[in-house]
Structure formats: C-alpha cells, structure tokens
Amino acid sequence: MTTTAGPRTNWAGNIAFAAPDFYHPASVGELRLVVARARQVRVLGTGHSFNDMADSPGAQVSLAGLPPEVEVDSAASLVRVAAGLSYAGLAGRLDRHGFALRNLASLPHISVAGSCATGTHGSGRANQSLSAAVAGLELVTAEGDVVELSRGDDTFPGAVVHLGALGAVTRLILEVVPSFEVSQRVYEGLPLDVLDDHFAAIMASGYSVSMFTDWRAARLTQLWIKSLAEDGPPAIAGEPWFAASPAPSARHPVPGMPPETCTQQLGVPGPWFERLPHFKPEFTPSAGDELQTEYLLPAGQAVPALHALHQVSERIAAVLRICEIRMIAADELWLSPAGEQDSVAFHFTWLPDAAAVLPVVSLLERQLAPFGPRPHWGKIFTTPAAELAGRYHRLPDFLDLARYYDPAGKFRNAYTARCLGR
C-alpha cells in the first residue's frame, strides 16, 4: 500500500488539508487495513468541494488507485462502478454499452462517490439529484468490515447522501437508462420580471434548464436549454412573452471566459454526456479560480426568493462571477438537499476572496431564511448545525446510522462536528 504526500489543498485551493497521513490503496483489501488501523480517517474524492468536509485529523485516503471497474448489467439496467471513478471516466464506457445516466452535474470531473455523498445535482424539473440514481453501495466501515447496502433496506435512504460519515464507499450501483441525445441552445437578455409569471414554464421548456444572472442588471445574462434531441428546439422561443434572443455563437456562462471549454451549443445534437454538463472534461471547468455557494429551497418559493435576492443584488454582484438557477426533482434521501421536496437551487460562483465573500454568504442566508434554504453540503455556507437540524427531519436517524457503523467516531471531522453536531 502506498503512503504518499497527498494533495495539500482542495480543487479550489481555498482549503489546505491538515490530515497528517495520506494513503493511496490499490485494492479494497489495502483500504480495509488502512481504515481498521486508523484512529481517524476520511476519504478524499476529487476534492471539488469548497469546504473542509474531506479533511481528516488523521488519515486521508484516495480511492483513485482502486481498479476502475465498470460492470453493466443490461438486463437490470444497472451499472456497478468503482467509487474512485469520475463521471468523465464512467460516461463514455457506459455509452458504449448503449446506456446513460439520467442527468449529470455542470462538470464531469467529479468522482461518482464524492458527488453522491453530497447530493450533487444537475438541472431539470423532472430530474432528481445524481445521488437518487444510487441503487446500492459497498462500504468499508470503521473496523475494516465490508458492508453491502441496497435499495429496499430500511436505512438505505439514509446511507446514500452520507457526507463521508459512515465509512469508505468502494463501489456504487447506479440505475441507468437507454442512451439518448441532447441538444442545447443558449438565449440572452431575458428580463427578470418575465420570471414573475413564467418561471415554471421556462423551467419546463427543456429536459435541463439553467438560468444565469450576474445581478448587475435585472435580466438573465443567459438561459441554457438542454432538450432531448427527439423533441427538437424548445417551443418556448415562440412564446410572445419570451423576450430573449438566441446567442449567435457559443457562450461560456461566466462572462469573459472562453466558450471552447464548454460543451457544444447552437442546437447541435450529441450524446447525453457531451451536452448535459456545461463543461468539457479536458478543460478546467467554470472559472477555476473561484468559490461556490448554493441553496436549495422548495420549488414553489422560486419567485419570492428571486425578489429577496434582488433586494441585495448590489452586494451579491460586487463579489460574484455568476449566479445559476436550476431545478431538481424531489428524492427520498434523508440528507439530500432536494429530499422530499421539488427544489429550486440558487448557485453562486464567487470571486476567490473568502474574506469578502463570507459576509455576503451570511447575508444570503438571512435573505433566504424565510424559505428554509438547505445549503449544498459541498459548498461554502455558514448555517449552524441547529438550523440545519430543523431542515432535515431525518437527521437524528442519520446520526443513529453513523453511530451504528462508526461507534467510535473514526469518520468524524471538524465539518461533521460543525454541521451535524457529531
């Protein structure tokens, strides 16, 4: 087993990992030994979270060295995936078998296990979080035992979005669907007040819809509509109230960034995995030099929440690269930010200046408080544990589950203490 100097920061570089030991096991057997011997341990995925959730006061382990297996069960429409694999590593292989995932996040660089651990999502009012595709998982628990959990087990909905607190996930079983083609079109300059009456219709105008604004003027800078290729161009463009114009060339959601790093637009159909993410796997996604925050709230609160944000738009704009608004269908996972409610997500890509950004994050939390916002677990937020507990009624059950698999608290860290009170 290799012990190496691990990556000393997360992807964004805003978190310096304090874990004194870094392990890179090449097999599940080696991983079991690391976990069994460690006093404290956490798994690091691809490090794309913007907070300290993947850090550990003891050992930090990467599973990127485990065999990158992808086993498709065509008859059952399932795929078994090694936890360390990224969506970019999985998608092409899955597509060659004629299968697809229903949805992807804005970037394919993130690990499957790390994404599912936080309730990571894309957009689409009928599309659930990526975690909702998990039909089974294999976990190395605190004593080094291997446990298999499947959909149908009583506590399974508690184990999927686990924030790294139950053990080391070594394999996931994901539901798949037949491969499909998507085309995406970008529109520009939709006035924000159009959303007052037409938010739901616009969000329903494609398979996956993202609205972008920089909050510097009362309009969407861009509207990305990803449609199933078989459905043709979105009907919305013909609506009399639809005041946006089609972008004449490819766009990047962050003003000034090169569109070559983005997936193909202008209505050209292509495979699901080359259209559902905004960013291509071979480039740095988004701005690269950034921080991120995101809140999910009940979908029905989208318009009042937009007005609440508009009240503080100048404060937001001063530290913002871009804001993205998406929709996520409800799932049944205990700690999923979209758990039990169809949700709207307000995402903020910030300038990389934590001191300037944090007061605005607190301001956003105050503005959105009436809507019970659930922060993205992997991004920057300041919501205290007591408030989070009020927004997840199954949290006590999750803590019981964590005590069951990890009685001594080996998988605890500063993040779980701060956010879960454990």
Ligand X SMILES: Cc1cc2nc3c(=O)[nH]c(=O)nc-3n(C[C@H](O)[C@H](O)[C@H](O)COP(=O)(O)OP(=O)(O)OC[C@H]3O[C@@H](n4cnc5c(N)ncnc54)[C@H](O)[C@@H]3O)c2cc1C
Question: Closer to ligand X at the Cβ: 49 or 263?
Answer: 49
Choose one: 118-126, 143-151, 191-199, 263-271; the region binding ligand X (CB under 6 A). Answer: 118-126
Judged by CB under 6 A, the chain residues 284 through 303 that form the site for ligand X are: 285-286, 292
Choose one: 49-57, 195-203, 207-215, 253-261; the region binding ligand X (CB under 6 A). Answer: 49-57
**How many of the other CB atoms lie within 10 Å of CB of 2?**
11
Judged by CB under 6 A, the chain residues 83 through 112 that form the site for ligand X are: 83, 105-107, 110-111
Rounded Cα distance between 421 and 417, Å, is: 5
Select the residue interacting with ligand X from 35, 38, 159, 163 (CB under 6 A): 163
Rounded Cα distance between 302 and 361, Å, is: 18
Rounded Cα distance between 256 and 325, Å, is: 20
Record the tokens describing residue 296, joined without a space.
């999910």
63 binds ligand X (CB under 6 A): yes
The site that binds ligand X (CB under 6 A) totals a number of residues, namely 34
| CB 153, min distance to ligand X, A | 18
| CB 345, min distance to ligand X, A | 8
Query: Using N-to-C axis directions, what is the helix angle for 302-310 and 354-368, rounded to 10°?
Result: 130
Contact status, residue 169 vs residue 214, Cβ threshold 8 Å? no
65 binds ligand X (CB under 6 A): no
Rounded Cα distance between 109 and 284, Å, is: 9
| CB 122, min distance to ligand X, A | 6
183 binds ligand X (CB under 6 A): no
Distances in Å between the Cα of 237 and the Cα atoms of 106, 171, 252, 338 are 23, 43, 20, 29
Site string for ligand X, 257-286 (x = CB under 6 A): ----------------------------xx
Question: Closer to ligand X at the Cβ: 141 or 183?
Answer: 141
Torsion of CA 261, 263, 266, 271, to 10 degrees: 160
43 binds ligand X (CB under 6 A): yes
11 binds ligand X (CB under 6 A): yes
| CB 68, min distance to ligand X, A | 13
**b vs e for 391-402, b when ≥16 Cβ sit within 10 Å of the residue's Cβ?**
bbebbebbbebb
Q: Which amino acid is at 22?
A: F
Question: Closer to ligand X at the Cβ: 127 or 198?
Answer: 127
Contact status, residue 215 vs residue 248, Cβ threshold 8 Å? no
Query: Using N-to-C axis directions, what is the helix angle for 302-310 and 194-203, rounded to 10°?
Result: 130
| CB 287, min distance to ligand X, A | 8
Record the tokens describing residue 258, joined without a space.
């090169």
| CB 412, min distance to ligand X, A | 11
Contact status, residue 267 vs residue 251, Cβ threshold 8 Å? no
115 binds ligand X (CB under 6 A): yes
Site residues (CB under 6 A) for ligand X?
11, 42-49, 53-54, 63, 83, 105-107, 110-111, 113-115, 117-118, 120-121, 163-164, 168-169, 285-286, 292, 376, 378
